[in-house]
């Protein structure tokens, strides 16, 4: 796919802000034709302008991914205008920041419908088009929270766990059918996105991602890389890998650690503004871009991700070092 002569056709959900917005910019640098799906029209229009300025082409497709018919219509519009979809990136999400005892059933349902069922709807729309052609890639944007739940984000963690299970089932089915359609999941660390400016919260202080924090461009580069490299699953950032491993080895200890630290870790020292808007039921107006409020604390690179994407070089270097060590040992003998 990377060597295709025609520009690649890509669909990104949650394209108006945060990781989705950064991903759109990265694909645009490659000249892709991109279908932009999100609820917020202001952010979608700004994303379209960025794509075209970078040399790509884009379609603005306002839609709520909780609506399966709307997602299907958006997919049809992309193919009618740009041609066959090569890559589908499921990224749209909602969350809450509140203990379960303070949530309503309607809030939990809303997060689940967008963050989990939105991925299901996007995946199904992509499969309807990719399976008959026997090609295409579906990238599920995940999180360390797909394996390890944390306090105050139960609906979001539950949805990410559900995506993980759904994706594993689908992968097995594709293997059974001998399909060349590929699915992959990219597990993310804490990211500096506008999510924390508009997530619905009942906590006293302004939300923040649990440090260490990475810039959304780190996530975007990983998503684009995953679309081109056949990997079952990818972790981005040492904190992601550490959280997943720690949960496998000592989940009970991790329970107690998170109970003790993660209420404070998910809040700044700044009180929540009384007129603060949230995006649970409707998008917050305006163009919010890719970055949140934590630029000064966010890392622009991930050494762990560099190691993953350069493991061929590392293997070659290790082989050369081993050969040199063997030669030296033989010479000394």
Domain chopping of the chain, boundaries: 9-301
Q: Which residues pair with 12 in a beta bridge?
A: 36, 89
Return the pLDDT at 331.
59
297-322 CB burial, b ≥16 within 10 A, e <16: ebeeebebbeebbeeeeeeeeeeeee
Helices of type H across 266-310: 303-309
Return the pLDDT at 318.
41
Q: Would you place residue 251 in the very low, low, confident or very high pLDDT band (cuts 50, 70, 90)?
A: very high
* Mean of pLDDT values over 79-102: 98
* Mean of pLDDT values over 279-299: 97
* Mean of pLDDT values over 228-248: 96
Q: Would you place residue 1 in the very low, low, confident or very high pLDDT band (cuts 50, 70, 90)?
A: very low
What is the rounded average pLDDT for all residues in the chain? 93
Q: Distance between CA 118 and CA 63 in Å, rounded?
A: 11
Q: Would you place residue 309 in the very low, low, confident or very high pLDDT band (cuts 50, 70, 90)?
A: confident
Q: Quick: pLDDT tens for 24-75.
A: 999 999 999 999 999 999 999 999 999 999 999 999 999 999 999 999 999 9
DSSP state of 26: H
pLDDT at 320 over 70: no
Return the pLDDT at 312.
57
pLDDT at 187 over 70: yes
Phi, psi for 120 (deg, rounded to 5): -65, -45
Return the pLDDT at 150.
98
Residue 94 CB contacts under 8 Å (≥ 6 apart), including other chains: 110, 111, 114, 115, 156, 279, 280
Q: Distance between CA 115 and CA 109 in Å, rounded?
A: 10
**Beta sheet of 57-62, edge-to-edge order:** 57-62, 33-38, 9-13, 87-90, 137-141, 182-187, 233-235
Q: Would you place residue 319 in the very low, low, confident or very high pLDDT band (cuts 50, 70, 90)?
A: very low
Reference 9, options 30, 231, 21; nearest CA is 30
Q: What angle do CA 7, 115, 257 make, to 5 degrees?
A: 120
Cis before 258? omega within 30: no
Q: Would you place residue 305 in the very low, low, confident or very high pLDDT band (cuts 50, 70, 90)?
A: confident
Q: Give me the CATH topology for the region 9-301.
A: Rossmann fold (3.40.50)
Q: Quick: pLDDT tens for 143-177.
A: 999 999 999 999 999 999 999 999 999 999 999 99
Q: Would you place residue 128 in the very low, low, confident or very high pLDDT band (cuts 50, 70, 90)?
A: very high
* Mean of pLDDT values over 288-298: 97
Q: Distance between CA 190 and CA 55 in Å, rounded?
A: 30
pLDDT at 321 over 50: no
**% of the chain surpassing 90 pLDDT:** 88
Q: Would you place residue 3 in the very low, low, confident or very high pLDDT band (cuts 50, 70, 90)?
A: very low
Q: Would you place residue 100 in the very low, low, confident or very high pLDDT band (cuts 50, 70, 90)?
A: very high
Active-site residues, by number, are 143, 156, 160
Q: Distance between CA 264 and CA 190 in Å, rounded?
A: 15
């Amino acid at each position: 796919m990377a060597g295709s002569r025609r520009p690649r056709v890509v669909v990104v959900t949650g394209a108006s802000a945060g990781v989705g917005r950064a991903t759109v910019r990265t694909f645009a640098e490659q000249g892709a034709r991109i279908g932009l799906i999100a609820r917020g029209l202001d952010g979608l229009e700004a994303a379209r302008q960025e794509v075209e300025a970078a040399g790509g082409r884009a379609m603005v497709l306002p839609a709520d991914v909780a609506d399966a018919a709307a997602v299907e219509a958006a997919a049809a519009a992309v193919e009618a205008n740009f041609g066959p979809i090569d890559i589908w990136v499921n990224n749209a999400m909602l969350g809450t920041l509140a203990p379960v005892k303070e949530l309503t059933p309607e809030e939990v349902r809303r997060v689940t419908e967008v963050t989990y069922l939105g991925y299901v709807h996007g995946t199904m729309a992509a499969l309807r088009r990719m399976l008959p052609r026997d090609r295409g890639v579906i990238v599920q944007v995940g999180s360390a929270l797909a394996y390890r739940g944390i306090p105050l984000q139960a609906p979001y963690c539950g949805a990410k766990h559900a995506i993980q299970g759904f994706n594993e089932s689908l992968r097995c089915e594709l293997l059974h059918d001998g399909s060349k359609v590929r699915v992959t999941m990219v597990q993310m660390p804490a990211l500096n996105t506008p999510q924390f400016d508009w997530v619905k919260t009942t906590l006293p202080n302004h939300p923040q991602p649990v440090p260490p924090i990475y810039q959304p461009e780190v996530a975007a580069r990983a998503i684009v890389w995953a679309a081109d490299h056949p990997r079952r699953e990818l972790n981005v950032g040492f904190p992601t890998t550490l959280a997943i491993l720690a949960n496998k080895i000592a989940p009970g200890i991790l329970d107690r650690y998170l109970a003790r630290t993660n209420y404070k870790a998910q809040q700044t020292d700044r009180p929540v503004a009384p007129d603060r808007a949230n995006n649970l039921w409707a998008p917050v107006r305006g163009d919010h871009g890719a970055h949140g409020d934590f630029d000064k604390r966010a890392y622009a690179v991930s050494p762990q991700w560099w190691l993953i994407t350069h493991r061929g070089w590392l293997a070659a270097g290790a082989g050369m070092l081993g050969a040199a060590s063997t030669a030296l040992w033989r010479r000394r003998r």
